[in-house]
């Protein structure tokens, strides 16, 4: 487990008319990863972007691309996301009848394998793949949109996942409604990667917003 808190701004809240500049700006502002929300209008009602957009922004930063796939099925598309420049590829347990194989495929593509759980999904759903993941993404909103309110009931789930991980080297990422007021509750529970959409992109000073999250996490 990495010690330092990592901030992964979600470009779903960026200005798409100048996406490359937005990615450069969060890089310069000190982000650790770039969180990329891929939605298919099927697993979630919203529809965002796919491999071509990721490929286009890949050259503008060396920061890790943290690709959150909210698509069903994901398996036929994993190699496209790897080729587009993903560093971490996260699939949803609810969207994958063959999770074990998807995770093996991601690692086989030379990428870090992540698994995500919706708020209603208990951590027992990923017990059987715990030795095949590099990252566990705990949703603290129902996936689909940025700017939703943090679901506090997920904090205890983070704590239970932290205990389940034990001494394995697995990151715990939290996604949805995170801001400077609640970030400490999730890092205290065991999260070490924090996604922030609105908390970073809603103001003009991205460095200040990222700094405020780090300060609040303590």
Q: Which residues bind ligand DX5 (CB under 6 A)?
A: 10, 12-13, 35, 37, 68, 141, 143-144, 146-148, 175-178, 195-199
Q: Within the chain, where are the H helices?
A: 19-28, 51-57, 78-84, 99-108, 154-165, 183-189, 198-201, 206-217
Cα angle: 29, vertex 188, 103; to 5 degrees:
75
DSSP letter for 30, please. T
CB of 116 vs ligand DX5, minimal distance in Å? 8
The 3-state secondary structure of 56-100 reads HHHHHCCCEEEEEEECCCCHHHHHHHHHHCCCEEEEEHHHCCCHH
Give the residue with the Cβ less far from Zn ion, 77 or 167: 77
The residue whose two tokens read 């909103």 is 141
105-123 per-residue burial string, b: 16 or more CB within 10 A, e: under 16: bbeeeebbbbbbbbeebeb
Q: Looking at beta carbons only, is 119 or 147 nearer to ligand DX5?
A: 147
3-class SS of residue 150: coil
Of 44 and 131, the one with the shorter C-beta distance to Zn ion is: 44
CB of residue 160 vs ligand DX5: minimum separation in angstroms?
21
Known catalytic residue at 175: yes
Tokens of 53: 């957009």
**Token pair for 218:** 């303590």
Answer with the entry of ligand DX5, Zn ion, none that 13 interacts with (C-beta below 5 to 8 A by kind): ligand DX5
Interface positions, 30-59, toward Zn ion (CB under 5 A)? 37
DSSP 17: G
Residues whose CB is less than 8 angstroms from the CB of residue 152 and which lie 6 or more positions away in sequence, other chains included: 182, 185
In the complex, least distance from residue 98 CB atom to ligand DX5, rounded to whole angstroms = 22
- Name the catalytic one among 3, 21, 37, 134: 37
Which of ligand DX5, Zn ion, none does residue 85 bind to, with CB < 5 to 8 Å depending on kind?
Answer: none
Looking only at the bridges linking them, the beta strands covering 171-175 and 6-9 are: unpaired
With CB under 5 to 8 Å by kind, the binding choice for 157 among Zn ion, ligand DX5, none is none
Could you tell which of ligand DX5, Zn ion, none binds residue 144, using a CB distance below 5 to 8 A set by kind?
Answer: ligand DX5
Q: Which CB sits closer to Zn ion, 47 or 163? A: 47
Q: Per the residue annotation, which of 40, 66, 96, 175 is the catalytic one?
A: 175
Options 24-32, 38-46, 67-75, 182-190: segment touching Zn ion (CB under 5 A)? 67-75
Which one of residues 33, 175, 183, 186 is an interface residue with Zn ion (CB under 5 A)? 175
Tell me whether residue 120 or residue 128 sits nearer to Zn ion (CB atom).
120
Q: Which residues are catalytic?
A: 37, 175
């Amino acid at each position: 487990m990495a010690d330092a808190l990592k901030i992964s701004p979600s470009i779903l809240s960026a200005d798409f008319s100048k996406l490359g500049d937005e990615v450069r700006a969060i890089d310069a502002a000190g982000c650790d990863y770039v969180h990329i929300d891929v939605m298919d209008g099927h697993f979630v009602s919203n529809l965002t972007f796919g491999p071509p957009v990721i490929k286009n922004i890949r050259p503008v930063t060396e920061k890790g691309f943290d690709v959150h796939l909210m698509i069903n099925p994901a398996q036929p598309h994993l190699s496209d996301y790897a080729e587009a420049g993903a560093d971490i590829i996260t699939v949803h347990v609810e969207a994958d009848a063959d999770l074990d194989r998807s995770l093996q495929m991601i690692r086989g593509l030379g990428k870090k394998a992540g698994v995500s759980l919706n708020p209603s999904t208990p951590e027992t759903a990923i017990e059987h793949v715990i030795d095949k993941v590099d990252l566990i993404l705990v949703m603290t909103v129902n996936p689909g949109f940025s700017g939703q309110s943090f679901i506090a009931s997920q904090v205890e789930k983070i704590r239970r996942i932290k205990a389940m991980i034990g001494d394995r080297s697995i990151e715990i990422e939290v996604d949805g409604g995170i801001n400077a007021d609640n970030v400490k509750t999730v890092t205290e529970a065991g999260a070490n990667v924090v996604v922030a959409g609105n908390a970073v992109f809603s103001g003009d000073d991205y460095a200040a917003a990222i700094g405020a999250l780090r300060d609040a996490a303590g």
